[in-house]
C-alpha cells in the first residue's frame, strides 16, 4: 500500500462522511501542511500544484482509484451546484482504517486536523487552504506576474516550521522500540477507558 493510499483510507474513515474530490484534496493538503510544519515532511509524500480551486494533487485520485471496489467506494453523483460536471464522492468500507499502515503519530496528526476542520464546507476548506504559506506565496507571485500560475508546483519550504518541534526532532536520539511502542499503545487505550469512566461519573 502506498503512502497516499494509507493516508486516504485513514482520513476518509475518520472523516466519517463522503468527500468530493476537491474536498479530499484539501483535506490531504491541510494534513500535509500541518505535518510539514511540525516534522519537516509531509505524511502523504505527494506534491501539489496550484489549480483553479486551490492546491491539488493528481496522484491522490489516481492512487485511490486502485483501491476502488476493495477498501474504497467511489460514486458519481450529479452536481448540486452550478458545475456541469458530476460530483465524485469518495468513501471507505467499514474497517478500512485498520488496513492503513500509518504510524501512531501520523494517525494522531490526521485526527487533530480533522478535529480542526470539523463542520467546514468544501468551500470553507478551500478558503482555509488559501491561507497556508505555499498558497499565499503563489498568489503573491500571480499578482506580480499579473496572470494565474495554474499547474505550478506549491513549495512547502515556504511553510513556517514549529520551532519547538524542530528542536525536539533534531534532539531525538533513537527511534522508539517496538516494546515501547506497545507500552504507549497500551497507555492510550487505558487512558480512553479512564476518560469514559470520568464521563460516566
Partner 1 sequence: MPAANITSCTPGSLVLIPNFHFPDKIKPKYCITLESWNNGHDDIIAVLTTHNLKHRTWKGAVFVPKGTIGLPEDSLIMCHNPKILKKQYFRKAIYKNEIPPEVLAEVLKNLKLGHIDPFLVLRVRGITKFP
Residue ranges binding partner 1 (CB under 8 A): 30, 33-34, 37-39, 103-105, 108-109, 112-113, 116, 128-129, 131-132, 160, 162, 164-165, 168-169, 171-174, 176-177, 180-181, 183-184, 186-187, 190-191, 193-195, 197-198
Q: How far is the CB of 184 from partner 1 (least distance, A)?
A: 6
Q: How far is the CB of 129 from partner 1 (least distance, A)?
A: 7
Would you call 161 helix, strand, or coil by DSSP?
coil
Q: For residues 56 and 92, which CB has a smaller minimum distance to partner 1 in the complex?
A: 56
| Max CA separation in the chain (angstroms) | 62
CA 15 from chain center: how many Å? 10
Identify the bridge partners of residue 73 per DSSP, sorted by sequence position: 91
Least distance from C-beta 71 to partner 1, angstroms? 24
* Nearest distance in Å: CB 46, partner 1: 17
Nearer residue to partner 1 within complex by CB, 145 or 172: 172
Instruction: Tell me which residue of 162, 133, 127 sits closest to 48, measured CA to CA.
Output: 133
Task: Classify 120 as helix, strand or coil.
Answer: coil
Cα separation of 65 and 67, whole Å? 5
Amino acid at each position: 500500500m502506498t503512502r497516499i493510499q494509507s493516508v486516504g483510507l485513514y482520513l476518509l474513515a475518520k472523516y466519517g462522511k463522503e468527500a468530493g474530490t476537491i474536498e479530499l484534496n484539501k483535506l490531504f493538503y491541510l494534513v500535509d501542511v500541518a505535518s510539514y510544519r511540525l516534522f519537516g515532511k509531509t505524511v502523504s509524500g505527494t506534491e501539489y500544484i496550484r489549480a483553479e480551486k486551490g492546491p491539488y494533487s493528481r496522484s491522490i485520485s489516481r492512487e485511490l482509484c486502485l483501491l476502488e471496489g476493495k477498501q474504497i467506494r467511489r460514486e458519481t453523483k450529479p452536481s448540486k451546484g452550478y458545475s456541469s460536471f458530476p460530483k465524485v464522492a469518495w468513501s471507505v468500507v467499514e474497517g478500512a482504517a485498520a488496513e492503513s499502515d500509518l504510524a501512531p503519530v501520523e494517525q494522531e496528526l490526521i485526527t487533530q486536523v480533522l478535529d480542526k476542520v470539523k463542520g467546514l464546507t468544501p468551500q470553507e476548506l478551500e478558503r482555509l487552504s488559501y491561507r497556508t504559506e505555499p498558497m499565499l506565496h503563489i498568489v503573491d507571485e500571480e499578482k506580480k506576474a499579473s496572470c494565474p500560475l495554474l499547474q505550478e508546483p506549491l513549495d512547502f519550504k515556504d511553510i513556517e516550521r514549529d520551532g519547538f518541534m524542530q528542536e525536539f526532532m533534531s534532539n531525538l536520539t533513537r527511534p522508539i522500540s517496538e516494546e515501547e511502542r506497545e507500552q504507549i499503545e497500551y497507555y492510550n487505550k487505558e487512558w480512553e477507558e479512564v476518560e469514559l469512566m470520568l464521563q460516566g461519573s
